[in-house]
């Protein structure tokens, strides 16, 4: 039997030829296996340079992007594949032809679909219509690729810590990034605190599902409006106050969120009760609105890992594609 042109990767049944619309189908072991592949790719991609040889990936983008587009395109190229970029910023998916027809066409030409869209229902429609894997590169409800990169970054920063020994605080709007962070944290066993202004809580149905994951993993999930609850967290994460396509950052929005700005005082409070010498990490999915959700001194501090997160988008996504198409 001829040898494989790339290292054999363990089977992840929740990914092999399956969609990734959210993270709920993955187990802790699935994620650990994915992270091991991501770490191997990050260390030396050369053994995997033919993993996607002869394969094409369609990239459908309704929203503009820096990190998502570049990290996927470069990652696909590094694996020997071909990325086809389809810009739908002017004409939304479903306007010119039905989502079903769009998906049926693409499945005849490409091996996977990466979609960055405004509505989760678009992804579900593509999934229903297409026989090739669909990857959620961001929707109104979930941002699974970002969360995978975020927890990969935490694993790098705390290599000897058990997941149940890590505490993550998310500060801001209960949005798509928040949903995926809580979801993956609950699967892994991380203790996650969500701090939001009143009326900006994450989705109740999604949080109920996360609670069921947490009951199995030993995670604790807490939603609070009291910033005093940020004390004793290993990392503080924030995002823009208004997500793209959800309206503008009006003065009313700024007034609502201003107390939740991540600044030096809040980071100091987060570091309380940590081990001697340990400082709380700062995380952000980017792009950041400096002076709004975070101050310059925090995002530019030594404890900021925002560019590590951005780099790890590529490695996590490459691992996803390897396990989806080659595992």
Catalytic residue, chosen from 146, 261, 309, 317, is 146
The catalytic residue among 167, 285, 309, 317 is 285
In order, the DSSP letters of 148-213 are HHHHHHHHHHSTTS-GGG-EEEEES---HHHHHHHHHHHHHT-EEEEE--TT-PPPHHHHHHHHHH
Sheet strands side by side (includes 281-284): 221-224, 191-195, 167-171, 235-238, 281-284
Q: Which of 67, 313, 315, 323 is catalytic?
A: 313
Short-list 195, 194, 172, 171, CA closest to 183: 194
Backbone phi and psi for residue 227, each to the nearest 5 degrees, phi listed first: -65, -15
| Calculated CA dihedral for residues 104, 109, 114, 119, nearest 10 degrees | -20
Residue of 67, 69, 88, 116 marked catalytic:
116
Q: Which two tokens stand for residue 233?
A: 């967290």
Q: How many helices (H) and strands (E) does the chain have?
A: 11, 9
Q: Choosing from 67, 143, 155, 233, which is the catalytic residue?
A: 143
Active site residue 278: no
**Of 69, 178, 239, 326, which residue is the catalytic one?**
239
Q: Is 146 designated active site? A: yes
Q: What is the DSSP string of 7-68?
A: ------TTTTT--BSSSTT--HHHHHHHHHHHHHHHH--GGGTTTTTT-EEEEEESS--SHH
Is there a catalytic annotation at residue 82?
no
313 an active-site residue?
yes
Q: Could you tell me if 164 and 218 are in contact, meaning their C-beta atoms sit under 8 angstroms apart? A: yes
Quick check: is 116 catalytic?
Answer: yes
The 3-state DSSP class for residue 112 equals: strand
| 247 φ/ψ sector (left φ>0, alpha ψ -120 to 50, else beta) | left
Question: Is 167 a catalytic site residue?
Answer: no
Active site residues: 116, 143, 146, 239, 285, 313
């Amino acid at each position: 039997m001829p040898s494989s042109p790339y290292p054999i990767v363990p089977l992840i049944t929740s990914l092999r030829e399956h969609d990734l619309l959210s993270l709920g189908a993955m187990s802790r072991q699935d994620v650990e296996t994915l992270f091991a592949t991501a770490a191997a790719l990050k260390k030396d991609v050369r053994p995997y340079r033919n993993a996607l040889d002869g394969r094409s990936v369609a990239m459908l983008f309704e929203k503009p992007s820096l990190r998502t587009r570049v990290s996927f395109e470069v990652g696909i190229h590094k694996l020997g594949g071909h990325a086809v970029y389809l810009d739908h910023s002017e004409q939304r998916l479903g306007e010119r032809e039905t989502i079903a027809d769009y998906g049926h066409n693409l499945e005849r030409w490409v091996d996977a679909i990466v979609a960055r869209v405004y509505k989760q229902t678009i992804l579900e429609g593509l999934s229903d219509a297409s026989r090739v894997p669909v990857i959620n590169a961001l929707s109104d409800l979930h941002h699974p690729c970002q969360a995978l990169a975020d927890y990969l970054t935490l694993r790098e920063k705390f290599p000897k810590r058990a997941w149940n020994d890590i505490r993550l605080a998310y500060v801001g709007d209960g949005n798509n990034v928040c949903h995926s962070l809580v979801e993956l944290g609950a699967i892994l066993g991380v203790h996650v605190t969500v701090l939001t202004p009143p009326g900006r809580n994450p989705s109740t149905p999604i949080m109920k599902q996360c609670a069921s994951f947490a009951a199995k993993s030993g995670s604790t999930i807490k939603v609070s409006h009291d910033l005093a609850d940020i004390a004793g967290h290993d990392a503080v994460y924030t995002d823009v106050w208004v997500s793209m396509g959800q309206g503008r950052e009006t003065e009313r929005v700024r007034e609502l969120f201003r107390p939740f700005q991540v600044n030096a005082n809040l980071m100091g409070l987060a570091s309380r009760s940590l081990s001697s010498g340990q400082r709380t990490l700062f995380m952000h999915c980017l792009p950041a609105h400096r002076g709004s959700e975070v101050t310059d001194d925090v995002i530019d501090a030594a404890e900021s890992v925002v560019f590590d997160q951005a780099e790890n988008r590529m490695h996590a996504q490459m691992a996803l594609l390897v396990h989806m198409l080659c595992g």
